[in-house]
Amino acid sequence: MDCLFCKIINGELPANKVYDDDLVVAFDDIAPKAPHHKLIVPKVHIATLNDLDKNHNPLLGHMIHTASVIAKDLGVAENGYRTIFNCNKDAGQVVFHIHLHLLAGRPMPGMTQ
Ligand code: 5GP
Ligand code: ZN
């Protein structure tokens, strides 16, 4: 399958991996939007959030928990961090293999406006 993140997962393309287990891998975003910008990616190919079914719920929980583990490892958990899933074009999704962004290391603009 011609998927960038599947290729990173199977080692065809390089990435700076910061976490790896049976279900997920996490690596540095190639174009970081914050001092720390990691992507938490499931090893199974799921194109968008719209392709999830309830059997994926434990996997999604694991992705979010992994973000918190990485944040603690980075030493940013207390100051805080932002996690984001983008879905389809209005959100700016460009890689169609779901991934959780973990952004930290600077204050993030509020989302209340
Ligand atoms: P999206 O907009 O789909 O939610 O985010 C995709 C993210 O993947 C972007 O932040 C982009 O910088 C990152 N990205 C795109 N291509 C690569 C790549 O080849 N390697 C890595 N590590 N990140 C990538
Ligand atoms: Zn994929």
Task: Write down the pLDDT at residue 1.
Answer: 76
| pLDDT tens digits for range 92-108 | 999 999 999 999 999 99
Average pLDDT of the chain is 97
Q: Give the sign of the dihedral formed by CA 20, CA 2, CA 29, CA 113.
A: negative
Ligand closest in space to the Cα of 7:
2
Substitution candidate for ligand 1 out of 13, 16, 30, 48 with most atoms within 8 A of CB: 30
Nearest residue by C-alpha to atom 18 in ligand 1 = 30
| pLDDT tens digits for range 64-78 | 999 999 999 999 999
Domain ranges of the chain: 1-33
Rounded CA separation 47/34 (Å)? 25
- Per-residue confidence of the chain (113 residues) as pLDDT tens digits? 799 999 999 999 999 999 999 999 999 999 999 999 999 999 999 999 999 999 999 999 999 999 999 999 999 999 999 999 999 999 999 999 999 999 999 999 997 75
The set of catalytic residues is 99
Q: What is the pTM of this model?
A: 0.97
